Structure formats: C-alpha cells, structure tokens
A = this chain, B = another copy of it.
Amino acid sequence: MMTSVDTDLIRVLADPLRLKIVTLLAHETLCTTHLVEETGARQTNLSNHLKVLREAGVVETEPCGRFTYYKLKPEVIAALAGQFTELAEHARTAADRKRSCP
C-alpha cells in the first residue's frame, strides 16, 4: 500500500498569498473586504485566489447580505496533516529498507 499525499491540494496551498489567506481564515472567519485589508492585495487578485481555494474544497462561502464570508474547512487541513504524519512515520523506518545498488 502506497502512502501518498494529495498533490493538487498542496499545489493550491503552495502559493504565498493563498497560504496567507488560509492562515488568516484559520484564526477568524472573514469576508473579502477584510482579506483585502489584511493582505494588501487587490480585490481582483484575491477573488481569483478565493475561487481556487473554493474549487479545491479548502474553504466554504456563506453569503451575508452583500458580503461573502469565507471559512476554512478544518477537515481538509486535518486530512492533509494526517497524510504528512503517515509519510513521516514511514520515513522513520525507511533507512532500514535500502535497495541494493544495481
């Protein structure tokens, strides 16, 4: 059985601005305006990144009048953490399993 990590999910989180967004949302549920203030990025740019995060299932939206609240989905991050933990566990014993030189 092959312990593997979701590549697409990591690629989504690999962008500095997106990771910043995720970090902010991990502490507080915010709407786009707040994120513009916090990150200093343009609204268009931020909206693009939020779309990526939404389509990746990392965040959820909750409309509130004219505003749109974004909140992080903890189970997605937790699942990723689990995959890395499993990988690290495997790696601890990988030094013993050394394939011989061809």
Contact = CB atoms under 8 A, between A and B. Distances in A.
A25 to B, nearest CB: 7
A66 to B, nearest CB: 8
A71 B87 CA distance: 13
Interface residues of A, number: 51
* Copies of this chain assembled into the complex: 2
A19 interface: yes
Contact of A31 (B75, B92, B101): B101
A85 B80 CA distance: 8
A91 interface: yes
Contact of A16 (B7, B28, B33, B77): B7
Interface in A54-97: 64-65, 67, 69, 71-75, 77-78, 80-82, 84-85, 87-92, 94-95, 97
